[in-house]
């Protein structure tokens, strides 16, 4: 290669270096796009995803001990922050607690602190289990009747009505047969215990009353 060719090559290299130095650096607006359409057209920049904020306000609590009910929970968890709603799930028939419930706080930060600090907290020999419930998983009927205290059923009155109701002839015969079966089992247990006892006969409406029998012990 001659001297003239070398000089021409050096000039070309220097021009290329100077041109690259003079080119402006691509800004964020002119940067390479993140998404290119398959069928042509202008490219577009994907929006940046912002970190999601904590918006969960409902805390699920399980293993609630006996005696730690709405009033006690309101006073205890009210120390963390303002409670909006509170509910302990109860049995519809008896009104007894099912030992789990939900608390909704006004501030989502307070709900997060309660869920983290009260998990595995020992309370009256019970380890509480707490966790946050996302808003999309909160059932729309979760707070239905949360301010109404469930009244237990009066089982004495229900049993009295069942016992005193009017029965048909067939129902009465079935009832007498059940009583006779229980009485026969009772007689067998008495004989197995070595006691001589003649049990009185069961009297129905169409039979006369039997004479009283004495109890004999060996």
- What CATH number did the domain enclosing 130 receive? 3.30.70.330
Residues 121 and 185 in one domain: no
Minimal CA–CA distance to 96: which of 129, 67, 60?
A: 67
**1 within some domain:** no
Residues 133 and 71 in one domain: yes
Exposure b/e, 8-44, CB count within 10 A at least 16 = b:
eeeeeeeeeeeeeeeeeeeeeeeeeeeeeeeeeeeee
Encode pLDDT of 65-119 as tens digits.
999 999 999 999 999 999 999 999 988 878 889 999 999 999 999 999 999 999 9
**184 within some domain:** yes
Residues 184 and 122 in one domain: no
Q: Which domain holds residue 211?
A: 167-216
**49 within some domain:** no
**149 within some domain:** no
Q: How far is residue 103's CA from residue 105's CA, in Å, rounded to a whole number?
A: 7
Q: How many domains does the chain have?
A: 2
Residues 62 and 115 in one domain: yes
**173 within some domain:** yes
Low-confidence ranges of the chain (pLDDT < 70): 1-6, 13, 16-54, 150, 204-218
pTM score of the predicted model: 0.51
């Amino acid at each position: 290669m001659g001297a003239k060719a070398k000089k021409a090559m050096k000039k070309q290299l220097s021009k290329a270096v100077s041109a690259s130095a003079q080119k402006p650096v691509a800004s964020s607006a002119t940067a390479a796009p993140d998404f290119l359409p398959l069928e042509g057209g202008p490219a577009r920049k994907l929006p940046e995803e912002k970190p999601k904020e904590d918006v969960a306000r409902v805390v699920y609590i399980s293993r609630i001990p006996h005696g730690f009910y709405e009033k006690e929970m309101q006073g205890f968890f009210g120390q963390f922050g303002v409670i909006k709603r509170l509910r302990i799930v109860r049995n519809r028939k008896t009104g007894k607690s099912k030992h789990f419930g939900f608390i909704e706080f006004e501030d989502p930060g307070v709900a997060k602190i309660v869920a983290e600090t009260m998990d595995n907290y020992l309370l009256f020999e019970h380890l509480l289990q707490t966790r946050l419930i996302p808003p999309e998983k909160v059932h729309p009927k979760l707070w239905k009747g949360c301010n109404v205290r469930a009244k237990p059923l009066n089982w004495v009155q229900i049993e009295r009505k069942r016992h005193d109701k009017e029965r048909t002839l067939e129902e009465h015969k079935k009832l007498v047969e059940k009583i006779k079966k229980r009485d026969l089992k009772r007689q067998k247990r008495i004989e197995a215990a070595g006691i001589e006892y003649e049990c009185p006969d069961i009297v129905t409406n169409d039979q006369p009353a039997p004479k009283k029998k004495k109890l004999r012990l060996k």
